[in-house]
Amino acid sequence: MVVAATGGVAAIKTPAVLRRLREAGMGVRAAATEDAYRFVTRLSLAVAAGSEPFDRSAWFTADGQVRHLEWAAWADALVVAPATADAISSAASGRADDVVSALVISGIPKVLWLPAMNTAMWSHPAVRRNVERLEADGHTLLGPVIGPLAARGEGAGLGRMVEPDAVPAAVEALFQERDFEGRKVLVSAGPTREYLDPVRFLSNPSSGKMGYAVAEAARARGASVTLVSGPSALDVPVGVERIRVESAGQMLGALIGPFADADLLVMTAAVADWRAAEVATEKIAKFDERQALELVRTPDILMALAEYRRDQVVVGFSMETDKGVERAAEKARRKRLDFVCLNYPATEDSAFGGDFNRVTVVTSNGEVEELPRLRKRELADSILDRVLPRLRPIQS
Ligand code: C5P
Protein backbone atom coordinates (compact mmCIF):
# COMPACT_ATOMS: atom_id res chain seq x y z
CA MET A 1 0.00 0.00 0.00
CA VAL A 2 0.98 3.63 -0.30
CA VAL A 3 1.22 5.73 2.88
CA ALA A 4 0.89 9.40 1.99
CA ALA A 5 1.83 12.33 4.20
CA THR A 6 0.14 15.69 3.75
CA GLY A 7 1.12 19.01 5.32
CA GLY A 8 0.34 18.91 9.02
CA VAL A 9 2.52 18.61 12.14
CA ALA A 10 1.44 14.98 12.57
CA ALA A 11 3.53 14.20 9.46
CA ILE A 12 6.41 13.59 11.88
CA LYS A 13 4.54 10.37 12.71
CA THR A 14 4.26 9.16 9.10
CA PRO A 15 7.59 7.24 9.32
CA ALA A 16 6.25 5.45 12.42
CA VAL A 17 3.07 4.54 10.50
CA LEU A 18 5.24 3.08 7.73
CA ARG A 19 7.31 1.12 10.24
CA ARG A 20 4.27 -0.33 12.06
CA LEU A 21 2.83 -1.51 8.73
CA ARG A 22 6.13 -3.08 7.67
CA GLU A 23 6.43 -4.79 11.06
CA ALA A 24 2.95 -6.23 10.44
CA GLY A 25 4.33 -7.76 7.24
CA MET A 26 2.69 -5.35 4.79
CA GLY A 27 4.44 -3.99 1.69
CA VAL A 28 4.61 -0.20 1.85
CA ARG A 29 5.71 2.75 -0.24
CA ALA A 30 5.63 6.41 0.81
CA ALA A 31 4.16 9.45 -0.91
CA ALA A 32 4.19 13.08 0.20
CA THR A 33 2.79 16.44 -0.82
CA GLU A 34 5.18 19.38 -0.94
CA ASP A 35 3.74 20.79 2.30
CA ALA A 36 4.32 17.48 4.09
CA TYR A 37 8.06 18.16 3.64
CA ARG A 38 7.75 21.19 5.91
CA PHE A 39 7.31 18.66 8.72
CA VAL A 40 8.95 15.39 7.65
CA THR A 41 11.97 14.90 5.42
CA ARG A 42 12.04 12.98 2.17
CA LEU A 43 14.93 10.97 3.58
CA SER A 44 13.12 9.81 6.70
CA LEU A 45 10.12 8.68 4.63
CA ALA A 46 12.47 6.84 2.26
CA VAL A 47 14.24 5.05 5.12
CA ALA A 48 10.97 4.07 6.82
CA ALA A 49 9.43 2.83 3.55
CA GLY A 50 12.60 1.22 2.24
CA SER A 51 12.20 2.93 -1.15
CA GLU A 52 12.05 6.34 -2.77
CA PRO A 53 8.86 8.32 -2.03
CA PHE A 54 6.41 9.46 -4.69
CA ASP A 55 6.25 13.24 -4.66
CA ARG A 56 6.17 16.19 -7.03
CA SER A 57 9.86 15.74 -7.92
CA ALA A 58 9.29 12.08 -8.80
CA TRP A 59 6.01 12.79 -10.57
CA PHE A 60 7.00 14.79 -13.62
CA THR A 61 10.01 12.90 -14.88
CA ALA A 62 10.89 12.62 -18.55
CA ASP A 63 11.14 8.83 -18.60
CA GLY A 64 7.81 8.28 -20.29
CA GLN A 65 6.13 6.82 -17.20
CA VAL A 66 2.85 8.17 -15.87
CA ARG A 67 3.81 7.87 -12.22
CA HIS A 68 0.47 8.36 -10.46
CA LEU A 69 -1.16 5.67 -12.61
CA GLU A 70 1.77 3.32 -12.16
CA TRP A 71 1.69 3.76 -8.36
CA ALA A 72 -2.08 3.44 -8.21
CA ALA A 73 -1.94 0.19 -10.18
CA TRP A 74 0.64 -1.21 -7.75
CA ALA A 75 -1.21 -0.27 -4.56
CA ASP A 76 -4.04 -2.23 -2.93
CA ALA A 77 -4.69 0.66 -0.53
CA LEU A 78 -3.83 4.29 0.09
CA VAL A 79 -3.39 5.45 3.70
CA VAL A 80 -3.32 9.23 4.05
CA ALA A 81 -1.56 9.93 7.35
CA PRO A 82 -1.91 12.66 8.36
CA ALA A 83 -4.82 13.95 6.32
CA THR A 84 -5.23 17.72 6.45
CA ALA A 85 -8.53 19.54 5.87
CA ASP A 86 -7.06 20.65 2.56
CA ALA A 87 -6.15 17.10 1.46
CA ILE A 88 -9.66 15.92 2.35
CA SER A 89 -11.19 18.82 0.46
CA SER A 90 -9.07 18.21 -2.66
CA ALA A 91 -9.97 14.52 -2.73
CA ALA A 92 -13.65 15.18 -2.04
CA SER A 93 -13.84 17.44 -5.07
CA GLY A 94 -11.86 15.11 -7.30
CA ARG A 95 -8.85 17.37 -7.86
CA ALA A 96 -5.55 16.00 -9.06
CA ASP A 97 -3.09 18.84 -8.54
CA ASP A 98 -1.04 17.11 -5.85
CA VAL A 99 0.21 13.53 -5.65
CA VAL A 100 -2.30 12.44 -2.99
CA SER A 101 -5.47 13.66 -4.70
CA ALA A 102 -4.12 12.34 -8.01
CA LEU A 103 -3.60 8.89 -6.48
CA VAL A 104 -7.11 8.94 -4.97
CA ILE A 105 -8.77 9.18 -8.39
CA SER A 106 -6.36 6.86 -10.18
CA GLY A 107 -7.99 3.60 -9.15
CA ILE A 108 -6.57 2.50 -5.77
CA PRO A 109 -9.26 0.14 -4.42
CA LYS A 110 -9.25 1.25 -0.74
CA VAL A 111 -8.53 4.62 0.81
CA LEU A 112 -8.04 5.17 4.54
CA TRP A 113 -7.85 8.73 5.91
CA LEU A 114 -6.24 9.61 9.24
CA PRO A 115 -7.39 13.21 9.77
CA ALA A 116 -5.34 15.53 11.96
CA MET A 117 -6.41 19.09 12.50
CA ASN A 118 -7.64 21.65 14.97
CA THR A 119 -11.03 20.95 16.63
CA ALA A 120 -12.71 23.99 15.08
CA MET A 121 -11.58 22.93 11.61
CA TRP A 122 -12.66 19.32 12.09
CA SER A 123 -16.14 20.37 13.21
CA HIS A 124 -16.64 23.02 10.50
CA PRO A 125 -19.60 22.25 8.22
CA ALA A 126 -17.38 22.48 5.13
CA VAL A 127 -15.06 19.77 6.47
CA ARG A 128 -18.00 17.64 7.62
CA ARG A 129 -19.45 17.91 4.11
CA ASN A 130 -16.17 16.81 2.51
CA VAL A 131 -15.83 13.89 4.93
CA GLU A 132 -19.36 12.75 4.07
CA ARG A 133 -18.48 12.89 0.39
CA LEU A 134 -15.43 10.72 0.91
CA GLU A 135 -17.48 8.21 2.89
CA ALA A 136 -20.10 8.20 0.14
CA ASP A 137 -17.25 7.41 -2.29
CA GLY A 138 -16.49 4.32 -0.18
CA HIS A 139 -13.48 5.70 1.69
CA THR A 140 -12.81 4.93 5.36
CA LEU A 141 -11.84 7.38 8.09
CA LEU A 142 -9.88 6.45 11.20
CA GLY A 143 -10.02 9.07 13.94
CA PRO A 144 -9.29 11.79 14.73
CA VAL A 145 -9.13 11.17 18.47
CA ILE A 146 -9.20 13.43 21.49
CA GLY A 147 -5.73 14.40 22.64
CA PRO A 148 -3.20 17.22 22.89
CA LEU A 149 -3.30 19.38 19.75
CA ALA A 150 -0.49 21.36 18.16
CA ALA A 151 -1.82 24.90 18.33
CA ARG A 152 -0.54 26.85 21.31
CA GLY A 153 -2.96 27.25 24.18
CA GLU A 154 -5.31 24.64 22.68
CA GLY A 155 -4.78 21.87 25.26
CA ALA A 156 -6.57 18.65 24.40
CA GLY A 157 -9.33 18.43 21.83
CA LEU A 158 -10.82 16.30 19.09
CA GLY A 159 -8.51 16.45 16.12
CA ARG A 160 -5.39 14.45 16.98
CA MET A 161 -4.28 11.79 14.53
CA VAL A 162 -4.67 8.23 15.84
CA GLU A 163 -1.42 6.69 17.06
CA PRO A 164 0.63 4.71 14.50
CA ASP A 165 0.12 1.51 16.54
CA ALA A 166 -3.58 1.55 15.60
CA VAL A 167 -2.98 1.65 11.85
CA PRO A 168 -2.15 -2.00 10.94
CA ALA A 169 -5.42 -3.27 12.43
CA ALA A 170 -7.36 -0.56 10.61
CA VAL A 171 -5.72 -1.50 7.32
CA GLU A 172 -6.52 -5.16 7.87
CA ALA A 173 -10.10 -4.13 8.60
CA LEU A 174 -10.32 -2.52 5.14
CA PHE A 175 -10.02 -5.97 3.60
CA GLN A 176 -12.03 -7.74 6.24
CA GLU A 177 -15.42 -9.18 5.48
CA ARG A 178 -17.93 -7.25 7.60
CA ASP A 179 -19.84 -10.29 8.73
CA PHE A 180 -20.64 -8.78 12.17
CA GLU A 181 -22.24 -5.65 10.69
CA GLY A 182 -25.30 -4.69 12.72
CA ARG A 183 -24.25 -6.90 15.65
CA LYS A 184 -23.78 -5.76 19.23
CA VAL A 185 -20.83 -7.44 20.86
CA LEU A 186 -19.96 -7.27 24.52
CA VAL A 187 -16.51 -8.31 25.71
CA SER A 188 -15.06 -8.49 29.22
CA ALA A 189 -11.31 -8.35 29.63
CA GLY A 190 -8.46 -8.10 32.08
CA PRO A 191 -8.26 -8.99 35.75
CA THR A 192 -10.49 -7.71 38.51
CA ARG A 193 -9.26 -6.22 41.78
CA GLU A 194 -10.79 -6.95 45.13
CA TYR A 195 -9.57 -4.48 47.73
CA LEU A 196 -8.59 -5.59 51.24
CA ASP A 197 -8.01 -2.02 52.34
CA PRO A 198 -7.48 1.27 50.46
CA VAL A 199 -4.01 0.23 49.21
CA ARG A 200 -4.05 -3.56 48.86
CA PHE A 201 -6.04 -5.87 46.66
CA LEU A 202 -6.39 -9.45 45.41
CA SER A 203 -5.88 -9.82 41.67
CA ASN A 204 -4.11 -11.88 38.99
CA PRO A 205 -1.64 -11.23 36.15
CA SER A 206 -4.20 -11.05 33.31
CA SER A 207 -3.07 -8.39 30.80
CA GLY A 208 -6.40 -8.02 28.99
CA LYS A 209 -4.76 -8.82 25.62
CA MET A 210 -7.15 -11.64 24.69
CA GLY A 211 -10.29 -9.60 25.34
CA TYR A 212 -8.92 -6.48 23.66
CA ALA A 213 -8.07 -8.65 20.62
CA VAL A 214 -11.65 -9.99 20.52
CA ALA A 215 -13.02 -6.45 20.77
CA GLU A 216 -10.73 -5.26 17.98
CA ALA A 217 -11.58 -8.22 15.73
CA ALA A 218 -15.34 -7.81 16.24
CA ARG A 219 -15.07 -4.10 15.50
CA ALA A 220 -13.08 -4.78 12.33
CA ARG A 221 -15.83 -7.16 11.22
CA GLY A 222 -18.43 -4.42 11.58
CA ALA A 223 -19.82 -4.99 15.09
CA SER A 224 -20.64 -2.27 17.54
CA VAL A 225 -18.45 -3.26 20.49
CA THR A 226 -18.54 -2.52 24.21
CA LEU A 227 -15.49 -3.62 26.16
CA VAL A 228 -15.85 -3.90 29.93
CA SER A 229 -12.29 -3.90 31.15
CA GLY A 230 -10.62 -4.48 34.48
CA PRO A 231 -7.33 -2.63 35.04
CA SER A 232 -5.20 -2.99 31.90
CA ALA A 233 -2.35 -0.98 30.38
CA LEU A 234 -3.69 -1.51 26.86
CA ASP A 235 -5.06 1.26 24.64
CA VAL A 236 -8.71 0.94 23.77
CA PRO A 237 -9.04 -0.27 20.15
CA VAL A 238 -10.25 2.52 17.85
CA GLY A 239 -14.03 2.55 17.49
CA VAL A 240 -14.64 0.43 20.61
CA GLU A 241 -16.50 1.78 23.62
CA ARG A 242 -14.65 0.92 26.82
CA ILE A 243 -16.11 0.87 30.31
CA ARG A 244 -13.45 0.61 33.01
CA VAL A 245 -14.17 -1.33 36.19
CA GLU A 246 -12.16 -2.73 39.08
CA SER A 247 -14.07 -5.34 41.08
CA ALA A 248 -16.13 -8.36 40.01
CA GLY A 249 -19.22 -6.63 41.39
CA GLN A 250 -18.58 -3.57 39.24
CA MET A 251 -17.92 -5.77 36.20
CA LEU A 252 -21.26 -7.50 36.67
CA GLY A 253 -22.96 -4.11 37.11
CA ALA A 254 -21.41 -2.80 33.88
CA LEU A 255 -22.32 -5.91 31.87
CA ILE A 256 -25.97 -6.38 32.87
CA GLY A 257 -27.38 -3.38 30.95
CA PRO A 258 -25.60 -3.94 27.59
CA PHE A 259 -26.12 -7.73 27.86
CA ALA A 260 -29.89 -7.29 27.44
CA ASP A 261 -29.64 -6.35 23.77
CA ALA A 262 -26.24 -7.84 22.90
CA ASP A 263 -25.90 -10.50 20.21
CA LEU A 264 -22.74 -11.90 21.75
CA LEU A 265 -20.89 -11.84 25.06
CA VAL A 266 -17.29 -13.04 25.14
CA MET A 267 -16.21 -13.28 28.75
CA THR A 268 -12.39 -13.33 28.68
CA ALA A 269 -11.98 -11.53 32.02
CA ALA A 270 -9.98 -13.32 34.69
CA VAL A 271 -12.41 -12.53 37.46
CA ALA A 272 -11.03 -12.80 40.99
CA ASP A 273 -12.93 -15.58 42.76
CA TRP A 274 -12.74 -14.17 46.27
CA ARG A 275 -12.99 -10.83 47.94
CA ALA A 276 -12.40 -9.77 51.53
CA ALA A 277 -15.49 -10.28 53.71
CA GLU A 278 -14.82 -6.81 55.15
CA VAL A 279 -12.94 -4.11 53.29
CA ALA A 280 -10.97 -2.06 55.86
CA THR A 281 -11.50 1.66 55.45
CA GLU A 282 -7.97 2.40 56.74
CA LYS A 283 -4.74 0.67 55.72
CA ILE A 284 -4.46 -2.55 57.75
CA ALA A 285 -1.48 -2.17 60.14
CA LYS A 286 1.08 -4.98 60.18
CA PHE A 287 1.24 -5.59 63.95
CA ASP A 288 1.28 -9.36 63.93
CA GLU A 289 3.34 -12.07 62.23
CA ARG A 290 0.15 -13.79 61.17
CA GLN A 291 -2.96 -12.19 59.87
CA ALA A 292 -6.16 -14.04 59.15
CA LEU A 293 -8.18 -12.87 56.21
CA GLU A 294 -11.76 -13.91 55.77
CA LEU A 295 -12.72 -14.26 52.12
CA VAL A 296 -16.09 -14.62 50.50
CA ARG A 297 -16.87 -15.55 46.90
CA THR A 298 -17.30 -12.84 44.33
CA PRO A 299 -20.45 -13.05 42.23
CA ASP A 300 -20.16 -15.50 39.35
CA ILE A 301 -20.84 -13.05 36.56
CA LEU A 302 -21.77 -15.61 33.91
CA MET A 303 -24.13 -17.40 36.30
CA ALA A 304 -25.74 -14.09 37.19
CA LEU A 305 -26.12 -13.09 33.54
CA ALA A 306 -27.59 -16.51 32.63
CA GLU A 307 -30.84 -15.29 34.20
CA TYR A 308 -31.07 -12.52 31.61
CA ARG A 309 -30.17 -14.79 28.73
CA ARG A 310 -32.48 -14.79 25.74
CA ASP A 311 -30.84 -15.69 22.46
CA GLN A 312 -27.42 -14.09 22.99
CA VAL A 313 -24.44 -16.24 22.13
CA VAL A 314 -22.24 -16.53 25.23
CA VAL A 315 -18.61 -17.64 25.20
CA GLY A 316 -16.54 -18.22 28.33
CA PHE A 317 -12.86 -18.80 28.94
CA SER A 318 -11.50 -21.33 31.34
CA MET A 319 -8.05 -22.07 32.64
CA GLU A 320 -7.63 -25.61 33.91
CA THR A 321 -4.64 -27.63 35.02
CA ASP A 322 -6.38 -30.97 35.20
CA LYS A 323 -9.28 -32.75 33.43
CA GLY A 324 -9.64 -29.65 31.28
CA VAL A 325 -12.08 -30.83 28.62
CA GLU A 326 -14.40 -32.57 31.07
CA ARG A 327 -14.51 -29.56 33.36
CA ALA A 328 -14.92 -27.11 30.50
CA ALA A 329 -17.93 -29.02 29.12
CA GLU A 330 -19.47 -29.14 32.58
CA LYS A 331 -18.84 -25.40 32.98
CA ALA A 332 -20.43 -24.66 29.62
CA ARG A 333 -23.59 -26.51 30.72
CA ARG A 334 -23.70 -25.02 34.20
CA LYS A 335 -23.09 -21.44 33.03
CA ARG A 336 -25.30 -21.87 29.93
CA LEU A 337 -22.50 -21.07 27.50
CA ASP A 338 -22.41 -21.88 23.81
CA PHE A 339 -18.80 -22.86 24.21
CA VAL A 340 -15.80 -22.50 26.47
CA CYS A 341 -12.29 -21.65 25.28
CA LEU A 342 -10.12 -23.81 27.44
CA ASN A 343 -6.58 -22.55 27.92
CA TYR A 344 -3.60 -23.80 29.80
CA PRO A 345 -1.55 -21.91 32.37
CA ALA A 346 2.22 -21.97 32.74
CA THR A 347 3.16 -23.56 29.44
CA GLU A 348 5.01 -22.04 26.49
CA ASP A 349 1.53 -21.33 25.08
CA SER A 350 0.65 -19.59 28.32
CA ALA A 351 -2.30 -17.25 28.12
CA PHE A 352 -1.32 -14.64 30.70
CA GLY A 353 0.40 -11.58 29.30
CA GLY A 354 1.76 -13.07 26.05
CA ASP A 355 0.78 -12.30 22.47
CA PHE A 356 -0.02 -15.92 21.67
CA ASN A 357 -2.54 -18.33 23.07
CA ARG A 358 -3.68 -21.88 22.42
CA VAL A 359 -7.22 -22.90 23.22
CA THR A 360 -9.44 -25.92 22.92
CA VAL A 361 -13.04 -25.06 22.08
CA VAL A 362 -15.45 -27.16 24.15
CA THR A 363 -19.19 -26.87 23.53
CA SER A 364 -21.92 -27.49 26.06
CA ASN A 365 -22.78 -30.77 24.36
CA GLY A 366 -19.23 -31.98 24.62
CA GLU A 367 -17.86 -31.30 21.12
CA VAL A 368 -14.15 -30.60 21.26
CA GLU A 369 -11.99 -28.73 18.76
CA GLU A 370 -8.32 -28.02 19.34
CA LEU A 371 -7.16 -24.78 17.75
CA PRO A 372 -3.47 -24.28 16.93
CA ARG A 373 -1.25 -21.87 18.82
CA LEU A 374 -2.17 -18.49 17.34
CA ARG A 375 -1.54 -14.81 17.82
CA LYS A 376 -4.33 -13.54 20.10
CA ARG A 377 -5.71 -11.33 17.32
CA GLU A 378 -5.93 -14.32 14.94
CA LEU A 379 -7.39 -16.47 17.68
CA ALA A 380 -10.02 -13.79 18.24
CA ASP A 381 -11.07 -14.16 14.60
CA SER A 382 -11.19 -17.97 14.92
CA ILE A 383 -13.48 -17.60 17.93
CA LEU A 384 -15.73 -15.16 16.04
CA ASP A 385 -15.82 -17.58 13.08
CA ARG A 386 -17.24 -20.20 15.45
CA VAL A 387 -19.75 -17.74 16.88
CA LEU A 388 -21.09 -16.68 13.48
CA PRO A 389 -23.33 -19.70 12.72
CA ARG A 390 -24.79 -19.49 16.23
CA LEU A 391 -25.97 -15.86 16.01
CA ARG A 392 -29.71 -15.18 15.92
CA PRO A 393 -31.06 -13.81 12.65
CA ILE A 394 -30.57 -10.03 12.39
CA GLN A 395 -33.65 -8.16 13.58
CA SER A 396 -34.67 -5.40 11.23
O1 C5P B 1 -15.37 -21.10 36.84
P2 C5P B 1 -14.26 -20.41 36.13
O3 C5P B 1 -13.71 -19.22 36.86
O4 C5P B 1 -13.17 -21.32 35.65
O5 C5P B 1 -14.96 -19.86 34.80
C6 C5P B 1 -14.28 -19.09 33.91
C7 C5P B 1 -15.26 -18.27 33.13
O8 C5P B 1 -16.22 -17.69 34.01
C9 C5P B 1 -14.57 -17.10 32.45
O10 C5P B 1 -15.24 -16.81 31.23
C11 C5P B 1 -14.72 -15.99 33.47
O12 C5P B 1 -14.68 -14.72 32.85
C13 C5P B 1 -16.07 -16.28 34.07
N14 C5P B 1 -16.19 -15.89 35.50
C15 C5P B 1 -17.27 -15.14 35.88
N16 C5P B 1 -17.40 -14.76 37.20
C17 C5P B 1 -16.52 -15.18 38.12
C18 C5P B 1 -15.44 -15.99 37.76
C19 C5P B 1 -15.29 -16.32 36.42
O20 C5P B 1 -18.09 -14.78 35.04
N21 C5P B 1 -16.68 -14.80 39.38
Contact 77, 111 (CB under 8 A): yes
Apex CA 339: angle with CA 337 and CA 344, to 5°? 120
Q: What percent of the chain has pLDDT over 70?
A: 97
User: What is the DSSP-derived secondary structure letter of residue 393?
Assistant: P
- b (16+ CB within 10 A) / e for 272-297: beebbeeeeeeeeeeeeeeeeeeeee
CA distance 268 to 281: 31
Q: What mean pLDDT comes out for the span 294-312?
A: 95
| Interval between CA 344 and ligand 1 midpoint (Å) | 15
Reported as a pLDDT band with limits 50, 70 and 90, residue 352 is low
Q: What mean pLDDT comes out for the span 268-279?
A: 95
Reported as a pLDDT band with limits 50, 70 and 90, residue 177 is confident
What's the confidence (pLDDT) of residue 344? 77
User: HEC states along 313-332?
Assistant: EEEEEEECCCCHHHHHHHHH
Reported as a pLDDT band with limits 50, 70 and 90, residue 396 is low
Give the atom of ligand 1 at the shortest distance from the alpha carbon of 301: 20
The torsion angle over the Cα atoms of residues 144, 21, 232 and 160, rounded to 10 degrees, is: -20
CB neighbour class for 112 (10 Å; exposed up to 12, middle 13-18, buried from 19) = buried
**Is 204 an active-site residue?**
yes
pLDDT in tens, 325-341: 889 999 999 999 999 99
- b (16+ CB within 10 A) / e for 225-241: bbbbbbebebebbbbbe
Give the atom of ligand 1 at the shortest distance from the alpha carbon of 320: 4
List Cα–Cα distances, 47 to 16, 50, 310, in angstroms: 11, 5, 55
- b (16+ CB within 10 A) / e for 243-263: bebbbbebbbebbeebbeebb
Task: Tell me: pLDDT of 154 over 70.
Answer: no
Helix (H), strand (E) counts: the chain: 14, 21
Q: Is 271 in the pocket of ligand 1 (CB under 6 A)?
A: yes
Contact partners, residue 79, CB within 8 Å, separation at least 6: 1, 2, 3, 4, 17, 21, 112, 114, 167, 171
Q: Using omega within 30 degrees of 0 as the cis cutoff, is the peptide bond preceding 53 cis? A: no
CB neighbour class for 325 (10 Å; exposed up to 12, middle 13-18, buried from 19) = middle
User: What is the DSSP-derived secondary structure letter of residue 269?
Assistant: -
Give the atom of ligand 1 at the shortest distance from the alpha carbon of 305: 20
Q: What mean pLDDT comes out for the span 303-329?
A: 90
Count CB neighbours of 56 within 10 A.
12
Task: Tell me: pLDDT of 38 over 80.
Answer: yes
End-to-end CA separation in angstroms for the chain = 37
What's the confidence (pLDDT) of residue 366? 85
Q: Is 14 in the pocket of ligand 1 (CB under 6 A)?
A: no
Question: Which three-class secondary structure state does DSSP give residue 203?
Answer: coil
Task: Tell me: pLDDT of 377 over 60.
Answer: yes
Q: Is 206 in the pocket of ligand 1 (CB under 6 A)?
A: no
Task: Tell me: pLDDT of 324 over 80.
Answer: yes
Q: Is 227 in the pocket of ligand 1 (CB under 6 A)?
A: no
Count CB neighbours of 132 within 10 A.
11
Reported as a pLDDT band with limits 50, 70 and 90, residue 349 is low
What's the confidence (pLDDT) of residue 186? 98
CA distance 340 to 363: 6
Q: What mean pLDDT comes out for the span 166-180?
A: 91
Site to probe by mutation for ligand 1, drawn from 188, 246, 271 as the one with most ligand atoms within 8 Å of Cβ, is 271
What's the confidence (pLDDT) of residue 136? 95
Site to probe by mutation for ligand 1, drawn from 193, 274, 300, 337 as the one with most ligand atoms within 8 Å of Cβ, is 300
pLDDT in tens, 203-256: 999 999 999 999 999 998 999 999 999 999 999 988 899 999 999 999 999 999
Give the atom of ligand 1 at the shortest distance from the alpha carbon of 270: 12
| Interval between CA 137 and ligand 1 midpoint (Å) | 45
H or E stretch at 380: helix 376-387
Q: Which of 119-123, 266-270, 320-324 has the lowest mean pLDDT?
A: 320-324
pLDDT in tens, 50-91: 999 999 999 988 888 899 999 999 999 999 999 999 999 999
Tell me which range, 99-103, 141-145, 325-329, is most confidently predicted by mean pLDDT.
99-103
What's the confidence (pLDDT) of residue 119? 93
What's the confidence (pLDDT) of residue 50? 97
Nearest CA to ligand 1 atom 5: 318
Contact 396, 387 (CB under 8 A): no
pLDDT averaged over every residue in the chain = 93
Site to probe by mutation for ligand 1, drawn from 267, 327, 343 as the one with most ligand atoms within 8 Å of Cβ, is 267
